């Protein structure tokens, strides 16, 4: 009727506006406070992420989360390479060595008995290379391993988990309060990611199913 020509891009933009569809925009990364490293450790994994039993090798890292008021919160998580389960996760206001220690401490309380040293792999961040964290690891029979500088592939399973957390949860919601984001991450890590979501590394079993199968096999071996 009016013979007006508009581009596909413009039509798409107006259609999205009418239907109230919006693209997911990732928040900008916050500026981290850089501390002074105490010690850098050798990379013991060298991108070999296969483990035959639980509580042998853990990976850990931090990620940032943004509230609607523009402030940031920081999550520290620990992942067991055996079944890719999140064995510990804490969110706080600051990204510090204290947060890294609390997260590791929370995990160690769940482990009944450590027969050999557990390897804990991280990046070279000052939180993990600080004197306080290094001494805590030594005291608790934790052998540290670190990625090469600026090489996220050296800690790929941890990177993948945080990408999944953000793509499947964080980027789809607006969080107004600390309580909202804390509870949301706890439920994702310990319920959805552990008990519901299949993982390709586990032959599409959930982390819970993978660990349960290990316990069942070991019971049969001990019984025989």
Q: How far apart are CA 103 and CA 140, in angstroms?
A: 13
Q: Is the pLDDT of residue 28 over 80?
A: no
- Compute the average pLDDT of residues 162-180: 96
- Angle at alpha carbon of residue 183, lines to 82 and 213, rounded to 5°: 25
Pairwise pLDDT comparison (18 vs 223), residue with the higher score: 18
Pairwise pLDDT comparison (96 vs 11), residue with the higher score: 96
The predicted structure's pLDDT at residue 39: 80
Element (H, E) at 92: strand 85-92
Per-residue pLDDT reduced to its tens digit, 103-140 = 999 999 888 666 678 999 999 999 999 999 999 999 99
Instruction: Spell out the residues 6+ positions from residue 42 whose beta carbon is closer than 8 angstroms to its own.
Output: 145, 146
Phi and psi angles of residue 109, each rounded to the nearest 5 degrees, phi first: -65, -25
Q: Is the pLDDT of residue 176 over 70?
A: yes
Residue 184, classed as helix, strand or coil, is helix
The predicted structure's pLDDT at residue 24: 47
The CATH number given to 57-223 is 3.30.420.10
Q: pTM, whole model, 2 decimals?
A: 0.81
| % of the chain at pLDDT higher than 70 | 78
Contacts 24+ apart (CB under 8 A), 185-190: 185/65, 185/75, 185/89, 185/91, 186/89, 189/77, 189/86, 189/89, 189/165, 190/86, 190/89
């Amino acid at each position: 009727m009016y013979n007006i020509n508009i581009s596909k891009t413009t039509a798409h933009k107006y259609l999205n506006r009418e239907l109230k569809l919006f693209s997911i925009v990732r928040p900008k990364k916050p500026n981290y406070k850089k501390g002074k490293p105490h010690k850098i450790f050798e990379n013991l994994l060298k991108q070999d992420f296969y483990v035959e039993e639980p509580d042998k090798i853990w990976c850990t890292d931090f990620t940032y989360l943004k509230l609607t008021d523009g402030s940031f919160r920081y999550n520290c998580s620990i992942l067991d390479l055996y079944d890719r389960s999140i064995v510990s996760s804490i969110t706080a206001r600051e990204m510090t060595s204290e947060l890294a220690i609390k997260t590791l401490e929370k995990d160690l309380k769940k482990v009944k008995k450590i027969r050999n040293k557990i390897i804990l792999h991280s990046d070279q961040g000052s939180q993990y290379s600080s004197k306080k964290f290094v001494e805590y690891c030594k005291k608790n029979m934790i052998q540290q391993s670190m990625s090469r500088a600026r090489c996220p592939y050296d800690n790929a399973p941890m990177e993948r988990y945080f990408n999944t957390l953000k793509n499947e949860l964080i980027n789809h919601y607006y969080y107004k309060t600390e309580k909202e984001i804390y509870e949301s991450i706890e439920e994702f890590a310990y319920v959805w990611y552990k008990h519901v979501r299949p993982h390709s590394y586990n032959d599409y079993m959930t982390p819970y199913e993978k660990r349960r199968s290990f316990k069942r096999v070991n019971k049969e071996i001990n019984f025989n």
